Amino acid sequence: MRHPAIVTAVAASLSAWLASGVSAQTPIDYPHKVVTLVTHSSPGGGSDVFLREMAKHLPKYIKATFVIENVQGGSGARAVSRLATAPADGSVFYATTPTYIYTSLLSKTQHGYKDVEPLVNFFTDSEVIYTRTDGPYKTLKDVIDKAQTSRGRWGAANPASLERQAAEQLKKAANVTPAVVSHEGGGDLMINVLNGTLDIGIGEIPELRPQLEAGKIRLLATFDAKRMEAFPNVPTVKESGYAIALDKFRGLAGPKGMPPAITKIWDEAVPKILADPDYQKVYRTESLVANFIPHDRYQGFVQNFGTVTEAFLRENGVLK
């Protein structure tokens, strides 16, 4: 044991985690009987599944019934408006993802991401760099080397997305100039990586899983800050020598000016929910990384994400 301090810290947090698991038997009282969770995704879409699973496990820790409301359309703008005009009493929340920041920045929405208040964060989706297994690339370095000697071909799922942002950042950090080609979503991108049109693609684990399990796709690196639990052999981009880490966050936001009593309940309850063994089983198979960010830090986190994204969009000529 070279680092006894780390071991003690891990042990301490483990025991704290166990203790929280034990005390989770009685749900915290909540001022509302019914809490509405709004999402911009359609039934069966990413955020919808996230909320529906969460709603199953929340009542164990917060004494309320949670219902999901799908407010589709306008790339999330309508859902954000629905939230911004709702009472700030803890009865309505919205499932946040980077989508609502992009929409706020790219169009003149009636209510933007600055008009709502981030509550707490639950998860980070792992973003990975992948290539085809029978291709010539074994490591991220091989890809960068190729981009230095000839024209690299990198792919991102959508033009205005975190994945494209990641590709542009990596380009800059590695000082190479490959073509960054955006596609019609993750499935379209994956085909072009599999058929050799592209050297690499940047995407999320769930959309890759069928081909990953079939052994057709090799993961080269992850943009997560730490290595992924399910793929401990895949290095982070940071380890590979490029100081980039992405947080594709998933959390909740509420209307502006929520009472501290409400935010305190969520600050207390969410770590417990994330430690719930039944819930863990569900979200781990979805490759979600538990990443609790409490209310006081989450606001700064989202504002910072917005500022960085805006700068990226301006730099690449998407915003004028």
Partner 1 sequence: MHSLGIAFDLLFGSPIILFSIVGLIWGIIGGSLPGISASITMALLLPFTYGMAPVQAIVMLACTYIGAEYGGSIPAILIRTPGTNSAAATVIDGYEMKKQGRAGEALGISLWSGVIGSLFGLLMLIMLTEPLSWVALAFRPTSYFALGILGLSVIASMTNGSLLKGLAAAVVGLMISTIGTDPISGVTRFTFGSPELLGGVEPVLIMIGIFAVSELMMQSGSRDIGGLREQVKVRLPSLSMMNRLKRSQFIGCLLGTFEGLTPGGGGSIAAFLSYNEAKRWSKEPEKFGKGSEEGVAAPETANNTVASTALIPLLSFGIPSSNSTAVLLGGLLIHGLLPGPRLFEQNADVVVGLYLGSFIATLAQIVVGILLLPVCVWLVNRPRAYLAGFILALILSGIYTLNTSLADLGIALGMGLVGYLMRRAGYPFLPLILGVVLGHMVESSYRRSLLLSGGDHSIFLEDPIAIGLLLASAVFVTLSLVREFRDARNAKLKDAHA
Footprint of partner 1 on this chain (CB under 8 A)?
Answer: 42-45, 49, 71-78, 103, 106-109, 151, 153, 158-161, 164, 179, 181-184, 187-188, 191-192, 194-195, 197-198, 207, 209-211, 213-214, 313, 316-318
* Cβ closest to partner 1, residue 34 vs residue 191: 191
Query: Min. distance of Cβ 109 from partner 1 in angstroms?
Result: 5
Long-range CB contacts for residues 276-280, cutoff 8 Å, separation at least 24 = 276/21, 276/24, 276/57, 276/60, 276/61, 277/21, 278/57, 279/53, 279/54, 279/57
Q: How far is the CB of 137 from partner 1 (least distance, A)?
A: 17
User: How far is it, in rounded angstroms, from Cα 163 to Cα 169?
Assistant: 10
Cβ distance to partner 1 smaller for residue 231 or 301: 231
Minimum separation from the CB atom of position 7 to partner 1 (A):
38
Question: Which is nearer to partner 1, 73 or 300 (by Cβ)?
Answer: 73
Residue 272 burial by Cβ neighbours in a 10 Å radius (0-12, 13-18, 19+): buried
* Distance of closest approach, residue 129 Cβ to partner 1, in angstroms: 18
In sequence order, which ranges of the chain are alpha helices (DSSP H)? 4-22, 46-57, 77-84, 98-106, 140-149, 162-174, 186-194, 205-213, 260-275, 277-285, 295-315
User: For residue 42, how many other CB atoms are within 10 A of its CB?
Assistant: 12
Question: Which of helix, strand or coil describes residue 224?
Answer: coil
CB of 168 to partner 1, least distance (A): 11
In the complex with partner 1, which residue's Cβ is closer, 28 or 181? 181
In the bound state with partner 1, the residue whose beta carbon lies nearer, of 210 and 259, is 210
What distances in angstroms separate CA 187 from CA 153, 217, 266, one per listed residue? 17, 13, 36
Select 73 or 87, whichever has its Cβ closest to partner 1: 73
Whichever of 85 and 197 has its CB closer to partner 1, that residue is: 197
User: Do residues 272 and 61 touch, judged by C-beta distance below 8 A?
Assistant: yes
Rounded least distance, CB 40 to partner 1, Å: 10
74 or 271: whose CB is closer to partner 1? 74
Q: How far apart are CA 305 and CA 249, in angstroms?
A: 10
Give the whole-angstrom CA distance, residue 294 versus residue 298: 6
**Nearest Cα residue to 123 out of 298, 263, 243, 244:** 298
* Least separation in angstroms between CB 13 and partner 1: 31
How near is the Cβ of 180 to partner 1 at its closest, in Å? 8
Cα separation, 176 vs 186, whole angstroms: 24
Whole-number Å distance between alpha carbons of 46 and 279:
17
